[in-house]
Amino acid sequence: MIRRASLVIVGALLGATAMSVVYSAGVPAQAAGSSTYRELSIFGDVFERVRAQYVTPPDDEKLVENAINGMLSSLDPHSSYMNSKDAADMRTQTKGEFGGLGIEVTMEDELVKVITPIDDTPAARAGVLAGDFISEIDGTPVRGLKLEDAVEKMRGAVKTPIKLTILRKGADKPIELTVMRDIIAVRAVKSRVEGDVGYLRVISFTEKTYDDLEKAIKKIKADVPADKLKGYVLDLRLNPGGLLDQAINVSDAFLERGEVVSTRGRNPEETRRFNAGPGDLTDGKPVIVLVNGGSASASEIVAGALQDLKRATVVGTRSFGKGSVQTIIPMGDAGALRLTTALYYTPSGKSIQGTGIQPDIKVEQPLPPELQGKVRAEGESSLKGHIQGQSETEEGSGSTAYVPPEAKDDIQLNYALDLLRGVKTDPSFPPQPDKAAAAVKP
């Protein structure tokens, strides 16, 4: 296994899509022509007219920020300007840790409901229990707040206190708890043993993903003897993407050699190739990768690499098709410019953009009646102004983005388990490694 950290390339969830980005100091632009400067002069005149004559005094900062975003949104859906708060939020997401309490929550009856407190976190130590309802945060009622607003209030600087008012079943009055915020590490990988199969779910690609994956594989090996272990399921469903270097390392964890991904920009000399090194953490055991319409960006890189190099069989439905690279260029006052600068290509030279990863074995996951028509990722090709992929078609522009909460109802997972155990058979499983060399371009 060769760990690579020379690039700091990240991804984050934006609306329904994920993006991949690389921090860069930027490249000086070529001088614009005289006509361009005349247009900029007109923009300056309009800006001053608005400031001087609009019916109410406008916010200058918002005017400029919206003008910048208007320009960038005309390029593609993933280019945009991030103000200082947005840029800081992005860095927090990709770091995989933040100052907070350590609870998984949802919204129910206009209150924040605790799904579970994470072990050994401030919330767990303070006595917060699964099923508790948070009615007030620092004296502010939760009713009327959106879930994300409530979560934002609970996050904050490490070693700062927060007071929670909790409604608990069986308690005759509200419970008030003061909790001291601490660093909360978000788990990037969840794992378990499904009898004789190791199950690995990669939630997102943060700075912690590879380390979490390595620990999970070691634990599975310790729990199941090598002669009993049938293989691994790598679940990338609903994974919005993340750090590119982590996507490369996760792919490398299952590979001994071969190109993982390449990025190709505006100029041929900007092409970059990233390769795997020796060291398969799973000792060559069979691998099945699960994808669906919610698998985007970095998760598509992993699925595409393992598929093209014949290391794994991909099961599920077509992935999102987000195959563009966004360069993050620091701007003044800690803001940043997010600009699309390249496209991803799988080892065989296929573009992910607008096409996604087609599974080797298509297995649909039916939706429960209450979600019919509500859970679907339309895919990159449905986004207005998206960059046209080299092989993009209207056919199959999206697929279901749903994973049942209970494993017994998970048709895609159970299909994968049956393949690994030999209950089901398919020509695509196991893949034939001797054909990989013919499929992959030099």
180 lies in some domain: yes
79 lies in some domain: no
Instruction: Please name the residue that has the structure tokens 């600068």.
Output: 341
- Is residue 60 flagged as an active site residue? no
- Which entry of 20, 80, 204, 297 is annotated as an active-site residue? 297
Characterize the bridge pairing of strands 336-345 and 287-291.
Answer: unpaired
Q: Are 146 and 247 contained in the same domain?
A: no
The number of beta carbons lying within 10 Å of the beta carbon of residue 288 is 28
- How many whole angstroms separate alpha carbon 285 and alpha carbon 198? 10
Residue 421 domain boundaries: 189-328+341-439
List the helix and strand counts (H, then E) for the chain.
10, 21
Give the pLDDT band (50/70/90) at residue 23: low
- Is residue 190 flagged as an active site residue? no
Q: Are 145 and 204 contained in the same domain?
A: no
Q: Are 243 and 315 contained in the same domain?
A: yes
31 lies in some domain: no
- Is residue 218 flagged as an active site residue? no
- How many whole angstroms separate alpha carbon 194 and alpha carbon 190? 13
160 lies in some domain: yes
- Which entry of 132, 212, 235, 308 is annotated as an active-site residue? 308
The CA distances from residue 79 to 207, 247, 268, 305, 338, in Å, are 23, 21, 22, 26, 5
Q: Are 427 and 376 contained in the same domain?
A: yes
More confident residue, 18 or 218: 218
At 90, which helix (H) or strand (E)?
Answer: helix 84-95
Q: Of the residues 150, 185, 220, which one is the last residue of a structural domain?
A: 185
Residue 336 DSSP SS3: strand
313 lies in some domain: yes
Q: Are 231 and 168 contained in the same domain?
A: no
68 lies in some domain: no
Q: Are 177 and 306 contained in the same domain?
A: no
Q: Name the domain count of the chain.
A: 2
More confident residue, 13 or 178: 178
43-100: pLDDT as tens digits = 999 999 999 999 999 999 999 999 999 999 899 988 999 988 888 878 877 887 778 8
- Which entry of 208, 322, 360, 397 is annotated as an active-site residue? 322
73 lies in some domain: no
61 lies in some domain: no
Q: Are 277 and 381 contained in the same domain?
A: yes
Give the CATH number, domain containing residue 104: 2.30.42.10
Helices (H), 199-270: 209-223, 244-252
Q: Of the residues 185, 219, 254, which one is the last residue of a structural domain?
A: 185
Q: Are 173 and 231 contained in the same domain?
A: no
The number of beta carbons lying within 10 Å of the beta carbon of residue 223 is 13
Lowest-confidence region among 119-123, 218-222, 371-375, 392-396:
392-396
> For the whole prediction, is pTM greater than 0.75?
yes
Q: Are 263 and 373 contained in the same domain?
A: yes
Give the CATH number, domain containing residue 202: 3.90.226.10
Position 355 pLDDT exceeds 80: yes
Task: Output b/e per residue, 321-356; b: 16+ Cβ within 10 A.
Answer: bbbbbbbbbebeeebbbbbbbbbbbbbbebbbbbbb
Q: Are 224 and 364 contained in the same domain?
A: yes
Q: What is the mean pLDDT of residues 160-184?
A: 93
Position 7 pLDDT exceeds 70: no
Q: Are 173 and 197 contained in the same domain?
A: no
More confident residue, 346 or 432: 346
Q: Are 138 and 246 contained in the same domain?
A: no
Q: Of the residues 157, 185, 213, which one is the last residue of a structural domain?
A: 185
284-339: pLDDT as tens digits = 999 999 999 989 999 999 999 999 999 999 999 999 999 988 888 888 888 899 89
